[in-house]
Amino acid sequence: MTATATIDITVNGEPRGAPEGATLLALLELLELDPRVVVVEHNRTIVRRPSLGTVRIAAGDAIELVHFVGGG
């Protein structure tokens, strides 16, 4: 079994480790968040859902996640 290196990122203002080379989509999966109900800001830029699987995170990145909740 090969160990995966981790990098330090910030998610919603909190320090967090993430697998090196992971995409934003992989990060959402790791956090158990459905990409259909989350807005992702990567280094102060909103990332559209079709690009989540291609944008890779790097050490020091700042990611903000806004999770929509239905109801009234």
**Beta strands in the chain, from DSSP E residues, in sequence order:** 6-11, 14-19, 38-42, 45-47, 62-67
**Amino acid 3: pLDDT:** 62
Q: What is the pTM of this model?
A: 0.88
Q: Assign domain 6-67 to its CATH architecture.
A: Roll (3.10)
Please tell me the distance from the alpha carbon of residue 4 to that of residue 20, in angstroms, as a whole number. 7
**Amino acid 69: pLDDT:** 74
**Residue (of 36, 67, 21, 51) closest to 9 by Cα position:** 21
Tell me the C-alpha to C-alpha distance, in Å, between residue 24 and each of 1, 56, 59, 70: 24, 6, 13, 23
Residues 33-65 pLDDT 10s: 999 999 999 999 999 999 999 999 999 999 999
Does residue 24 have a pLDDT over 80? yes
Sequence-ordered alpha helix ranges (H) in the chain? 24-30
- Which carries the bigger pLDDT value, residue 33 or residue 71? 33
What are the sequence ranges of the domains in the chain? 6-67
